[in-house]
Amino acid sequence: MREERPDLIILDIMLPKMDGFKVCRLFKFDPQYKDIPVIMLTVRAQKEDKLMGMETGADEYITKPFDTEELLAKVKEHLEMKK
């Protein structure tokens, strides 16, 4: 992230060293990265997980299995909003 600033982040919750909630919080509460849209794409579909995703700053929360067209539409929507 520090070498190449992404336009958008697609983030899973289930990560090996730090869960996606913590990663999202780090991005969204850092002034340097807070404007980068984060789409959480995860198998965790519980209501509590979705709420946690939104509380940590995720712009979208999509559960697996997912509709590819829906994901692409959300990506396009957020990239166009940045222009």
Give the model's pLDDT for residue 40: 97
The whole-angstrom separation of Cα 73 and Cα 38 is: 14
Q: Is the pLDDT of residue 83 over 80?
A: no
Dig out the tokens for 7 from the structure: 């336009």
Dig out the tokens for 64 from the structure: 């697996």
pLDDT in tens, 16-63: 999 999 999 999 999 999 999 999 999 999 999 999 999 999 999 999
- Per-residue pLDDT, averaged over 4-26, amounts to 94
Structural domain including 40 reads: 9-78
* Residue 21 falls inside a structural domain: yes
Dig out the tokens for 10 from the structure: 């697609």
DSSP-derived secondary structure letter, 33: T
Give the model's pLDDT for residue 45: 95
Give the model's pLDDT for residue 70: 96
Check: CB of residue 41 under 8 Å from CB of residue 64. Answer: yes
* Residue 1 falls inside a structural domain: no
Start-to-end CA distance of the chain, whole Å, equals 20
Number of domain units in the chain: 1
The whole-angstrom separation of Cα 47 and Cα 44 is: 9
* Residue 31 falls inside a structural domain: yes
CATH number for the domain harbouring residue 69: 3.40.50.2300
Q: Is the pLDDT of residue 2 over 80?
A: no
